[in-house]
Amino acid sequence: MADRFADLEYDPDRDLFSCFLAARDIAPDARALIGDGRSYSYAEMASAADRIAWHLMARGVKPGDTVALVTDRTPEAILAMAGILRAGGAYVPLDPAYDSKQLDYYIGDSKPAAILWDAPYGDLARDLTPEGTALLAIAETLKKAPRAKPAFPERHGEDPFYVMYTSGSTGKPKGVVLPHRAIARLGFDQPFNPPAAGDVCLVNSTISCDGSTWEIWPPLLKGATLSVVTQPKPALDVIARQIVADKVTVALFYTGIANLMITHHLDALTGLRQIRAGGDVMSVPLTRRLLDAAPGIELVNVYGPTENSVFTTTHL
């Protein structure tokens, strides 16, 4: 199937959702998302995005508006991201584990036109929602289809894709607005064999961290499948079991987690074709241990600030 995606090329003037639709058109029945016993094909994901977008537009969301997400890492959270993009908005992923003061700051700073939430965070989302801001449950938006397909707005490569907040290590967290083109290039304009059709790609980063951007979007531009770890703070053995059960081929870990996975769950990693470890330098002894056990695996050490769309440097 990978050959059918070979003609897809990076276009810096094109919005990312239209790139996803191009992948949908090539392989509508291919699995896009799996996790916690649920599965969505590319066609089903596109249809769900249309439903969510219709609800957002009906509640006043306009092109360029921000929409906040209050949810754990789930297949439905990714559907919600896609729906926000389909409506012409930019998503603002918020970690429900943050304290209320921090979440209030993010809401006040990003000024979302709407807030999308998923269980069990209805009360939290209601407390965060300013007066006049639309509040929608993801589950409810997925149930009701539009009576007629709305005219979705046209977007371009320079339009806002998401607002991702920095850690605030040098002061207040900054909301970094990144455009569609910056994220789309992660699927096309990259060294070291980015995800491709036939890959199963692990999604285990918190959605409010930019590592999740690479886990989610590049695979969906090339016909790959996302294996979503739905536990908010999964133990290493949970991650290892999911890698084996879903036959994961590509994974990104923060470097400390990568070191721990090699130490405690090496057998679960030997079937992968690529691991990316980000944020710090990999342990040399553990790198050798992994490569001795799986000589064919690509281990890519990556680093980059939020402002530069996930990866600035990569080293094989």
Q: Does domain 41-177 have CATH number 3.30.1360.40?
A: no
User: What is the token pair recorded at 315?
Assistant: 């080293």
User: What is the token pair recorded at 295?
Assistant: 């000589």
What are 226-266's pLDDT values in tens digits? 999 999 999 999 999 999 999 999 999 999 999 999 999 99
pLDDT band at 313 (very low <50, low <70, confident <90, very high): low
Domain ranges of the chain: 41-177, 181-315
The whole-number average pLDDT for the span 25-51 is: 98
Minimal CA–CA distance to 153: which of 53, 78, 82?
A: 53
0.85 surpassed by pTM: yes
Look-up of token digits 């996975």: 261
User: Quick check: 90 pLDDT over 60?
Assistant: yes
Least confident of 91-100, 111-120, 126-135, 161-170: 161-170
User: Quick check: 316 pLDDT over 60?
Assistant: no
Determine contact, residues 281/303, Cβ cutoff 8 Å: no
User: Quick check: 311 pLDDT over 70?
Assistant: no
CA distance 173 to 247: 37
Report which DSSP code applies to 219.
Answer: H
Determine contact, residues 35/78, Cβ cutoff 8 Å: no
User: Quick check: 80 pLDDT over 80?
Assistant: yes
Least confident of 8-12, 20-24, 116-120, 126-130: 8-12
What fold characterizes domain 181-315?
A: Rossmann fold (3.40.50)
In the chain, % helix, strand, coil (3-state, to 5) comes to 40, 20, 40
